[in-house]
Structure 1
Amino acid sequence: MRNENTVTVGAAITAFLEQCEVKAAFGVISIHNMPILDAFAVRGNIRFVMARGEAGAANMADAYARTTGGLGVCLTSTGTAAGNAAGAMVEAQTAGTPLLHITGQIETPYLDQELAYIHEARDQLNMLKAVSKAAFRVRSVETAISTLKLAVQTALTAPTGPVSVEIPIDIQSTFIPMPTDLSPLPIPVAVPAPEALDLVAERLAGAKRPLLWLGGGARHAGAQVKRLLAMGVGVITSTQGRGVVNEDDERCLGAFSQNKRVEQFLQTCDALLIAGSRLRSNETFKYALKLPQNTLRIDANPAVEGRGYASELFICGDAALALDGLADRLEGRLRTDPDFLAELKAVREQSRSQLVADLGPYSAMVE
């Protein structure tokens, strides 16, 4: 029942998103998300960017998260509209983008009854689970905010990814007292074990030609990578790791791991430290790329150890924390081959020249 001291669940959700420092959201207006969008307009703190289709909205939310380093937010209607976002959700999942997809759902009394209710899609929640890191359904007014809190925490916890939440329209429009606690849940961070850092640092300290392979899990570790670059470490990236180091930096090979000249260069490196990369098939000649024997790995996901490639040593931990810890331990100890970075620069230029030649008239697209 409405009175001056109550707000809709949609307004409470909006207030929670504001606490998550969400400044913009993307989507398509529908009767199944109006209580949330009305609150966006009334409260005026979140800019809503309308899209022509749900796939575009989810892609924009994905791009927004990648460029800002924050949480991307996308709103769709239920049924077909939620399905339209599926392809973009798979892309976000592949990239490990922290994204919150809020979709509507039909009124709870009719849900899952197979009554051919307008906009209902059979087994929508399982469809969303297939294209998301996780998917949740808000099952009651009382659990709306707690479900959103869990969803945001899940999206932002490494390995990050897109999370979907179904919210039935009758729940969205129900009036409730504004919740007193709208603070987001803490994001757990995997702290690397000092003993593991010590072991990896010892391996790197003896290397003359150390190379750092950066993936999407190291996107937030730019400052730590710069410390290692200053010590003479070279860098190669996966596609998702591009941008951690400015690619104008001559110490960065870029994402050219599938270039045969780069593969040959890798064989001259006496230590390869992989940080936050899944070493995907398209970047490793379908896992046939030859890596140095002294391959070391950092990942916040313990299940990554041994996946795709074996590693001599493995650090389970946040990339920024691990790289910072390694930089502390290596300060003043690295004595790299004086020709190493010059050779890296030459390979970098050869790889770029080959790409331009291979693309022919299309090279202007990448220049």
Structure 2
Amino acid sequence: MPTRITVGELAARFLERCGVRAAFGVISIHNMPILDAFHRRGEIRFVSARGEAGACNMADAYARVTGTLGVCVTSTGTGAGNAAGALVEALTAGTPLLHLTGQIESDYLDRDLGYIHEAPAQLQMLQAVGKAAFRIRNAETALATLREAARLAFTPPCGPVSIEIPIDIQARLLDLPAELDPLPVAPAEPAPEAVRALAARLQEARRPLLWLGGGARGASQAVARFVAMGWGVVTSVQGRGVVAEDHPACLGSYNLQPAAEQLYGTCDAMLVVGSRLRSNETLRYRLKLPEALYRIDANPLAHNRGYASELFVHGDAERTLNALADLLEGRMQVDPALVGDVQRARAAAATAVDAALGAYVALKDGVQAQFGNALWWVRDITLSNSMWGNRAPVLDHPRAGVHALGGGIGQGLAMAIGTAVADAQHGLQRRTVALVGDGGFMLNVGELACAVQEKADLVVLLMNDSRYGVIKNIQDDLYGSRHAYVELHTPRFADFCASLGARHLLLNDPAATGEVLAQAAALRGPVVVEVDMAAWGPFKAKFAGPILKKD
């Protein structure tokens, strides 16, 4: 056992104690002490992405799927800057992520010398795109900084935290610390009097609904107690699977359709748990929700955001719901017709979605039939996801859905790689399926080489219409069908995949959906299923951006 280690090795050992089994990044002269420690110790699988943006998206997805700390390692300057957009995505999604970036030698820092890889305001940039950012200035404070960064990443609202480590500090020797464990993060305990007040308000409700967001993903067992009392459930996109979406009491994320709003109008209470009630999931805050609206959130700043609430309880979702259930079980008389009404609303909403898809119903149903519920469902911002991917297929696990929540395209492929690596490293035994568009796919297409090298077990549904389909629809809707800058030159994807050693299957006939998806499911490693949208034809209805409520 060595008694002296480098700061780079200290970082590796600390991450091991955090339960990290895989990290993602791009090797550089300014992060080699850290990555050398990964390599020598052999405890953390390091995935060599083709770009820092992809690496950060991979780490984000890894954290979302496992519930553990995501780790991304980049170079300084341009390398760190390349990760900025992906850090914004992780911040939007509330992902606990640690971004370790190099920095130039301490002697030349902050002197604006034009030193190689120097970015004079790098720390400020990282503070702007994440939850926090630190610089380790000497070996003695390295562990304290690592611990505090990990603690902040896991403290609600969770998010990415960056640490700059100058290259000379990474190589500095220090005594091996006796204690390397991360700092504990205590769940936010609700005030008992606030829980009692909420219980008093809810006890008389006859038709109560839970609206579950991403902050409720660790509260499935507590939520089940409310379902057993007869409550109905609706979720945000980020909250999908907290209750299995084939449960009779679950409306799923069909939260925008007229049938859902009509259901809300019959309810006398809605309890929103861990959700921001985001604009695109509430018709820009004009979706009519029950007047008796209550909220539980671990972020105290969530109170009255977007919608006013009659009562707000600050607390961890699981602990607060369990405390509330203790006071409500056996004391509520929920309308026994509520669950049936939820089922009918869901069926009507699903029918409305299907009616807009045309031939693409075959693909939606084919994914469900082939992969069942045991899949990781990863989606990029693409027309097909907006039309159906955010609602279907049925998810039965609170971490099964991974979506580019911030609205940026081109992140789906990298997220799928991170998800597949997470599944392999943690033995989760679900198949990773990604829904992406050709425009977004080309943005980070180099990561397909990473997927092949890592033998990432994933299926990519590549929706190829050779254009930015949503933008074209918006131009039809708002700009007199002036189609500017939306047509895309794309490669022959079969040849491109062959050049990398990735399997490619063409799906140019809706009738062949079952056969082609079965072939894809039987293969291992990365498989690209190219859906030729020119051959399939248009959707029956046009989607032209987030739905807005009309007066």
The one-letter code of the counterpart of 2:140 is: E
Provide the residue aligned with 1:74 in structure 2: 72
Provide the residue aligned with 1:34 in structure 2: 32
Provide the residue aligned with 2:193 in structure 1: 195
The one-letter code of the counterpart of 2:206 is: K
Contact 2:272–2:294 (CA under 8 A) maintained in structure 1: yes
Q: In terms of mean alpha carbon deviation, does 157-166 or 355-364 score higher?
A: 355-364
The one-letter code of the counterpart of 1:305 is: H
Provide the residue aligned with 2:12 in structure 1: 14
Provide the residue aligned with 1:269 in structure 2: 267
Provide the residue aligned with 1:332 in structure 2: 330
Provide the residue aligned with 2:123 in structure 1: 125
Query: 1:102 offset after TM fit, Å?
Result: 0.8
Distance 1:84 1:362 in 2: 35
Distance 1:362 1:139 in 2: 55
Provide the residue aligned with 2:147 in structure 1: 149
Distance 1:353 1:87 in 2: 36
Q: For 1:137-156, what per-residue CA distance to the aligned partner results, in whole angstroms no more than 9, with x for missing partners?
A: 11221111111111000000
Contact 1:205–1:330 (CA under 8 A) maintained in structure 2: yes
Q: Say which of 214, 217, 221 aligns to 2:215.
A: 217
Structure 1 portions without partners, runs of 5+: none
Is 1:290 matched with 2:273?
no
Contact 1:217–1:277 (CA under 8 A) maintained in structure 2: yes
Distance 1:336 1:182 in 2: 50
What SS is found at the alignment partner of 1:143? helix
Contact 2:230–2:336 (CA under 8 A) maintained in structure 1: no
Is 1:134 matched with 2:132?
yes
The one-letter code of the counterpart of 1:31 is: I
Distance 1:156 1:4 in 2: 31
Distance 2:21 2:2 in 1: 27
Equivalences for residues 141-180 of structure 1 within 5 A: 141-180=139-178
Provide the residue aligned with 2:88 in structure 1: 90
What SS is found at the alignment partner of 2:255? coil
Distance 1:275 1:223 in 2: 14
- The alignment of Structure 1 onto Structure 2 pairs a total of residues equal to 365
Distance 1:22 1:220 in 2: 19
Q: For 1:54-76, what per-residue CA distance to the aligned partner results, in whole angstroms no more than 9, with x for missing partners?
A: 11111111111111111111111
Distance 1:228 1:26 in 2: 39
Structure 2 portions without partners, runs of 5+: 365-388, 394-551
Provide the residue aligned with 2:484 in structure 1: none
Distance 2:30 2:181 in 1: 25
Provide the residue aligned with 1:318 in structure 2: 316
Contact 1:232–1:334 (CA under 8 A) maintained in structure 2: no
Distance 2:78 2:245 in 1: 41
Contact 2:140–2:174 (CA under 8 A) maintained in structure 1: no
Is 1:259 matched with 2:257?
yes
Query: 1:4 offset after TM fit, Å?
Result: 5.8
Query: 1:240 offset after TM fit, Å?
Result: 1.2
Distance 1:80 1:361 in 2: 44
Provide the residue aligned with 1:102 in structure 2: 100
The one-letter code of the counterpart of 2:44 is: I
Provide the residue aligned with 2:48 in structure 1: 50
Contact 1:30–1:77 (CA under 8 A) maintained in structure 2: yes
Provide the residue aligned with 2:202 in structure 1: 204
Contact 1:272–1:296 (CA under 8 A) maintained in structure 2: yes
The one-letter code of the counterpart of 1:248 is: D
Query: 1:335 offset after TM fit, Å?
Result: 1.4
Contact 2:76–2:119 (CA under 8 A) maintained in structure 1: yes
Query: 1:350 offset after TM fit, Å?
Result: 1.4
Provide the residue aligned with 1:233 in structure 2: 231
Scaled by the length of structure 1, the TM-score of the pair is 0.96
Is 1:184 matched with 2:182?
yes
Q: For 1:323-356, what per-residue CA distance to the aligned partner results, in whole angstroms no more than 9, with x for missing partners?
A: 0111111111221112111111011111122222
Contact 2:87–2:129 (CA under 8 A) maintained in structure 1: yes
Q: For 1:19-47, what per-residue CA distance to the aligned partner results, in whole angstroms no more than 9, with x for missing partners?
A: 11111111111111111111111112111
Q: For 1:251-283, what per-residue CA distance to the aligned partner results, in whole angstroms no more than 9, with x for missing partners?
A: 111112221221121111111000011111111
Distance 2:130 2:190 in 1: 27
Distance 2:59 2:4 in 1: 30
Distance 2:357 2:147 in 1: 46
Q: Percent identity at matched positions?
A: 61
Provide the residue aligned with 1:250 in structure 2: 248
What SS is found at the alignment partner of 2:296? strand
Distance 2:2 2:64 in 1: 39
